[in-house]
Amino acid sequence: MRGRLATQQARLFSSRATICYSVASLLTSPLTDGIAIFTSLRGLRFCIIYDIMRICACVPNEAQFAGFIMDKSIYDCYVNILKSELLSALGCTEPIAVAYAAALARDTLGELPERVEISVSGNILKNVKGVVVPHTDGLKGIDAAASAGIIAGNADKELECISGASRSDLERIRHYLHTTEFSIAQSDSGCIFDIFVRVYAGGHSAGVRIVGHHTNVVRIEKDGHAVLDCCASADEASCCPEYDLLRIADILAFADEAEINDVREALERQIEYNSAIAEEGLKNDYGARVGKLLLKNFGNDIHNVAKATAAAGSDARMNGCTMPVVIVSGSGNQGMTASLPVIVFAKHLGSSHEELLRALVVSNLVTVRLKARIGRLSAYCGAVSAGCGAAAGVCKLRGGSASEISHAIVNAIAIDSGIICDGAKSSCAAKIASAVEAGLIGMEMALSGTNFSGGDGILVDSVEGTIDNVGDLARDSMREIDETIIKLMIKNRRENIA
């Protein structure tokens, strides 16, 4: 089977090369109207057109081709965004980021820490408090995540740093947690995403700080001296300026024109990992069993199966499942919400595998577009953005036009933008189901030509303007709400302990 596939691929590549060189020969011939030939190439994918241009070495009268094909810098940017966003992670990413920082601090110290001090931003507190740390047999909290990283963490694996933990490590993690002095405080740095872990042993100390996103290590120190020292900005957007290039029209053009092999590896891993954990969540009892309950009570309608599958992945992930997921915008829940409904619909519709991959390009990049303006962590539930992404991806699978996909996004925003984020926990699965449902309603509206209008609430007449409004609402206006949520959660934690 593999040999046959390789032969087919070789023939495909040979045909592509033949096309490229033949057209290039015509373009460079003094007897040929190159402009006319290029005009006839509009149906070809970007990769073939780019190969032709490369063979020709240059394109005469380049100004005449402005807007003809996607700008190469934007193309490369989108490829890089997908590769950097679609990472594998074990467990909820905020506690795993704490574990990663702790493992790196232990390595820098060079011995088992006797005392641990941890300072984190309020949003980290919020997202670590209620979620189970994998490989800990049900432990929750910042100290549990740090203990797992110190005892069983491999910092080289970053967001999969505790994936190699064994059963014997579990006993050591519990013992370390109960016998080591931990000090946990809320950071006042002003950074929404901020983790600082300092460890002590034998008269020495080491510290690691992560700012902005889950693996962005900005400082490593040993005995007060910097081993690594990078600029840490309170403005998360400054870490990712290329995200400003994301636009819905360009995302859709990229999904159509991309050489799929440029992003295949990340997308295939997303399909494999996220489908597997969703299946696990549907088979076994995790958390509130939202996914299983949806299937049991509402049946096998395709919309319900899409909701249930995404929810089941979250059921498992929020409650200690040791299977990895592929994240987007720094979140496994968002990674599953953006991908699983698209995967479910592709199977239902009988879509080709390439059609599925291109639809996942849309769903992931639309999710990133929405979240880039909001920020990694906020009081605005990230599943809402991923539900919009899923709607866009499914709409593409169903043959939706660029206008219909844009309307699907706007409709979904209009339906579900009021959901708050009060931390990672079991109820995230239900919020995911709600976000997927809103996305699918928005998509069905768009495909039937019935849409919400600009001027309705926060909506404006363009998809980009509406997305920007959501960003302003979630990033700026909801900061006070976020602070109130964090205060309530800390208060609840104290009352539960008492």
pLDDT bucket at 238, cuts 50 / 70 / 90 = very low
- pLDDT on residue 34: 47
pLDDT bucket at 492, cuts 50 / 70 / 90 = low
Proportion of the chain above pLDDT 70, given as a percent: 83
- Predicted confidence (pLDDT) at residue 497 exceeds the cutoff of 80: no
**What is residue 457's three-state secondary structure?**
coil
The sign of the CA dihedral 224, 226, 228, 233 is: positive
- pLDDT on residue 418: 82
Structural Rg of the chain based on CA atoms: 24
Scored b (16 or more CB within 10 A) or e, 444-463 reads: bbbbeeebbeeeeeebbeeb
- C-alpha angle 177/178/181, rounded to 5°? 75
Most confident of 24-28, 138-142, 228-232: 138-142
Higher per-residue pLDDT: 152 or 479: 152
Burial of residue 331 (CB within 10 Å: 0-12, 13-18, 19+) is buried
CB atoms within 10 A of CB 498: 5
Rounded Cα distance, 483 and 487, in Å: 6
pLDDT bucket at 1, cuts 50 / 70 / 90 = very low
> Please, what is the end-to-end C-alpha distance for the chain in angstroms?
63
- pLDDT on residue 6: 42
Q: Report, as an integer, the average pLDDT of 250-258.
A: 95
- Predicted confidence (pLDDT) at residue 374 exceeds the cutoff of 60: yes
- Predicted confidence (pLDDT) at residue 330 exceeds the cutoff of 70: yes
CB atoms within 10 A of CB 208: 27
- Predicted confidence (pLDDT) at residue 51 exceeds the cutoff of 90: no
Q: Closest Cα to residue 424, out of 460, 383, 392?
A: 383
Q: Closest Cα to residue 236, out of 373, 348, 388?
A: 373
Rounded Cα distance, 181 and 114, in Å: 7
Rounded Cα distance, 78 and 366, in Å: 11
Q: Report, as an integer, the average pLDDT of 167-186.
A: 94
- pLDDT on residue 71: 81
Rounded Cα distance, 76 and 146, in Å: 37
If phi > 0 it is left, if psi is from -120 to 50 it is alpha, else beta; for residue 29 that is: beta
Rounded Cα distance, 58 and 78, in Å: 23
Round the average pLDDT of the chain to a whole number and report it. Answer: 86
Rounded Cα distance, 338 and 321, in Å: 20
pLDDT bucket at 409, cuts 50 / 70 / 90 = very high
Q: Report, as an integer, the average pLDDT of 351-370.
A: 98
Beta bridge partners of residue 117, listed in sequence order:
183, 198
Query: Which helix (H) or strand (E) is 207 found in, with range?
Result: strand 204-211
- Predicted confidence (pLDDT) at residue 45 exceeds the cutoff of 80: no
Q: Closest Cα to residue 246, out of 123, 392, 344?
A: 392
Q: Report, as an integer, the average pLDDT of 203-216.
A: 94
Rounded Cα distance, 379 and 361, in Å: 26
Q: E strands, 268-411, where?
A: 324-326
- pLDDT on residue 466: 95
Q: How many CA atoms lie within 13 A of 136 on its CB side?
A: 33
Q: Report, as an integer, the average pLDDT of 241-260.
A: 92
pLDDT bucket at 69, cuts 50 / 70 / 90 = low
